Amino acid sequence: MVLQAEESLITTSAARRVLVATAVPAERDAVARAFPGPAEDVPLPGAPLRRTATGRRTATGPDLLAAGVGPALAAASTASALTAAALAGDPYGLVVSAGIGGGFPPEAPLGSLVVADAITVADLGATTADGFLPVTELGFGTVTHRPPAPLVRAAAEATGARVGTVLTVSTVTGTSARAAELRAAHPDALAEGMEGFGVAEAAAAHGVPVLEIRAVSNPVGPRDRAAWRIGDALAALTEAFGKLAPVLESWNPHDD
């Protein structure tokens, strides 16, 4: 009986602890603005963790990590945070990859939100005379992680986000030709970012579910950095997390 109670406490605590990994501090701070109240920085190898509070006495907000740009650094930083929490006996129950991103027009316009039902790495594999071969066709690993469908639905309903594939790329798309190539290979793609797959790999290694949400700052296509609407996308990210907070707080993987 005592054991059962302890197990249920552990399950509840694991289900409620959420780690949000962004690429850069500006994105982390945009998420943090949705969780006003005292926050503390917890040192970790790699990037420090910002522990937020909701301002309510009973609940804490997510831990936020500016995990770095690109899938490799994002995976390493996320894995550090997950391992530290697990070793401390207080593991995370969910990891969210969040940030600004490129949107495929016209489905994902500037300022809109995309929640991933598939987190797919677009450029992990080999080029051949016959085209690109994903790493899975070389006999290795995985190219897609799938967030829990009920959580994706709940997140999209709460935030008004579109649902589709979010691609992870190591090289930001900068031409119409590459955008068309990606679209042909991934017809369900709505957005691209540089970290989602790395964050998802780290989460999968720990057996923790993952979610990815992107606020569109620029179209995927010809590079025009001056036209990126970063401020609008960061504001959309803050608003999204304000609406997402109750979903993340109440989500229990055992309900799925």
Ligand X SMILES: O=C(O)c1cccc(C(=O)CC[C@H]2O[C@@H](n3cnc4c(=O)[nH]cnc43)[C@H](O)[C@@H]2O)c1
Binding site for ligand X (CB under 6 A): 23-24, 26-27, 69, 99-102, 169, 172-173, 192-195, 217-218, 220, 230
Q: Quick one: 69 or 72, whose CB is closer to ligand X?
A: 69
Q: Is 54 exposed, middle or buried (0-12, 13-18, 19+ CB in 10 A)?
A: middle
Q: Quick one: 85 or 169, whose CB is closer to ligand X?
A: 169
Are 27 and 100 within 8 A, CB to CB? yes
Q: Quick one: 44 or 73, whose CB is closer to ligand X?
A: 73
User: For residue 152, which of 256, 11, 27 has the smallest C-alpha distance?
Assistant: 256
Smallest distance from ligand X to CB 194, Å: 4
Smallest distance from ligand X to CB 210, Å: 15
Q: Which residue is nearest to ligand X (CB)?
A: 102
| Rounded Cα–Cα distance for residues 168 and 150 (Å) | 22
| Rounded Cα–Cα distance for residues 21 and 88 (Å) | 19
Smallest distance from ligand X to CB 238, Å: 12
Smallest distance from ligand X to CB 163, Å: 19
Cα–Cα separations (whole angstroms), residue 206 to 71, 79, 87, 236: 17, 8, 12, 30
Smallest distance from ligand X to CB 234, Å: 6
Q: Quick one: 159 or 173, whose CB is closer to ligand X?
A: 173
User: For residue 202, which of 51, 71, 70 has the smallest C-alpha distance?
Assistant: 71
Q: Quick one: 60 or 218, whose CB is closer to ligand X?
A: 218
